[in-house]
Amino acid sequence: MSDRLLKVAEVAERLGVTERFVRRLIAERRIEYVKAGTHVRIKEEALTAYIDESTVVPIRMGLHGNGLVA
């Protein structure tokens, strides 16, 4: 487990989103962050947890009788 603290720009790059989106996640308290004075940092493990919590598992479709079922 890493204790590395990431800047907002680094988190945005890893997620493939804008810095504005990451700042909104922080403002809405949807991702855990560290506040050091005026600086905001996100632990690598917090980013991993956010990704894990946001991952949607696909529904497997199979044949059952005359139609598809989940």
**Looking at residue 60, what is its pLDDT?**
82
Domain of residue 62: give its range.
5-69
Q: Which two tokens stand for residue 63?
A: 């044949």
Q: How many domains does the chain have?
A: 1
Q: Cβ atoms within 10 A of the Cβ of 45, count?
A: 13
Bridge partner residues of 34 (DSSP): 41
Domain with 29 in it: what CATH number? 1.10.1660
pLDDT in 10s for each residue of the chain, 70 residues: 568 999 999 999 999 999 999 999 999 999 999 999 999 999 999 999 999 999 999 888 766 666 665 5
